[in-house]
A and B are shown apart, each in its own frame.
Chain A
Amino acid sequence: MTKFDQIYQNLVKEIMTNGIVEFSERTGYETKAIPGLHFSIDIEKDGFPLLTLRKIPIKMFVAEQIWFISGTRKPEIFLRDYTKIWDLFTNPGDVVTVAYGYRWRKHFGRDQLALLIDLLQKEPSSRHGVIVTWDPAQDGLSLVKKKNVPCPYTFTVNIIGKRLHLHNIIRSNDVILGTPGDVAGFALLQCILAQKLGVKPGIYSHSISNAHIYSNHYHGAEEIIKRKNDHPTIRLELPPKAFEKSEKMDKGLTDAIIDNLAKQYNPMEAITGLKIAL
Chain B
Amino acid sequence: MAIITKQQIIEKINSGSLLFKPNLDQFQLQEHSVDLRLGFTFMIPKMWHMTPKGRESLDVTHFDKRNHEYFEVIELEQGQYFDLLPQEYILVSTLESIKMPVDLMGVLYPRSSTNRKGLSLDLTGIIDAGYEGQLVLPIRNNTRSQAVRLYPGERLCQVVFEELKNAVTPRPSKYHQKDIIEGVQTEKKTEVELITSGDIKKLKEDYKI
- Chain A interface (Cβ < 8 Å from any Cβ of B): 72-74, 77, 91-93, 95, 97, 106-107, 109, 146-147
Asked if B152 is an interface residue, CB under 8 A from chain A, the answer is: yes
Which residues of chain B are near A109, meaning CB under 8 Å? 46, 49, 69, 72
Are A93 and B73 closer than 8 Å at their CB atoms?
no
For the complex, give the distance between the alpha carbons of A147 and B75 in Å. Answer: 13
- Quick check: A92 and B95 within 8 Å, CB to CB? yes
What is the CB-to-nearest-CB distance from A77 to chain B, in angstroms, rounded to a whole number? 7
Q: CA of A44 to CA of B39 in the docked complex: distance in angstroms? A: 46
B78 engages A92 (CB within 8 Å): yes
Name B151-200 residues within 8 Å CB distance of A.
152-153, 177, 179, 181
> Would A97 and B75 be within 8 Å (CB), given that A91-B40, A92-B152, A106-B68 are in contact?
yes
Q: B78 to A106, Cβ gap below 8 A? A: no
Can you give 18 A-B contacts (C-beta < 8 A)? Answer: A72-B179, A77-B179, A91-B40, A91-B75, A91-B78, A92-B22, A92-B153, A93-B39, A93-B40, A93-B41, A93-B95, A93-B152, A95-B75, A97-B75, A97-B77, A106-B69, A109-B46, A109-B69
Do A91 and B181 have beta carbons less than 8 Å apart?
no
Q: Which of B41-82 contact A (CB under 8 A)?
A: 41, 46, 49, 68-69, 72-73, 75-78
A146 proximity list for chain B (CB < 8 A): 77
A73 with B95: in contact, given A95-B41, A95-B75 (CB under 8 Å)?
no
Give complex CA distance A267, B57 in Å: 55
| In the complex, residue of chain A having the shortest beta-carbon distance to the beta carbon of B79 | A144
Residues of A within 8 A of B49 (CB): 109
Consensus secondary structure, chain B interface: mixed
Let me know if B179 and A92 touch, CB within 8 A. no
Selected from B40, B46, B177, the residue in CB contact (under 8 A) with A95 is B40
The residue of chain B having its C-beta at the shortest distance from the C-beta of A96 within the complex is B75
How far is it, in angstroms, between the C-alpha of A95 and the C-alpha of B42 when the chains are bound? Answer: 13
Chain B residue nearest to A148 in the complex (CB): B77
What's the count of A-B pairs with C-beta under 8 Å?
43
Bound CA–CA A60/B77 (angstroms): 25
With beta carbons under 8 angstroms apart, the residue of A74, A91, A107, A147 that contacts B179 is: A74
What residue in chain B is nearest A111 (Cβ atoms)? Answer: B69
Is A73 touching B152 in the complex (CB atoms < 8 A)?
no
Q: Which residues of B contact A97 (CB under 8 A)?
A: 75-77
A95: B residues at CB distance < 8 A: 40-41, 75
Let me know if A73 and B181 touch, CB within 8 A: yes
| Nearest CB in chain B: distance from A1 CB, A | 42
Contacting pair B77 A91 (CB below 8 A): yes
A73-B179, A106-B181, A109-B49 as given contacts; A91 in contact with B76, CB under 8 Å:
yes
Q: A77 CA to B72 CA in the complex, in Å? A: 21
Q: In the bound complex, how far is the Cα of B77 from the Cα of A109, in angstroms?
A: 20
Given B77, B93, B153, B181, which contacts A147 in the complex, CB threshold below 8 Å?
B77
* Chain A residues whose C-beta falls within 8 Å of the C-beta of B75 in the assembled complex: 73, 91, 93, 95, 97
Q: Is the CB of A92 within 8 A of B40?
A: yes
Closest to B38 in A: A93
* Complex Cα gap A97–B68 (Å): 16
Least CB distance from A266 to B in Å reads: 39
Shortest distance from the beta carbon of A69 to any chain B beta carbon, whole Å: 16
Contacts of B177 in A (CB 8 A): 77
Inter-chain CA distance A74–B73, complex, in Å, is 14
Q: Bound state CA distance, A109 and B78, in angstroms?
A: 24
What residues of A have a CB within 8 angstroms of the CB of B73 in the complex? 106-107
Residues of B within 8 A of A147 (CB): 77-78
Q: Which residue of A lies closest to B21 (CB)?
A: A94
Q: How far is the CB of B87 from chain A (nearest CB, A)?
A: 24
Chain B residues whose CB sits within 8 angstroms of the CB of A72 once the complex forms: 179
Report chain A residues within 8 Å CB of B69: 106, 109
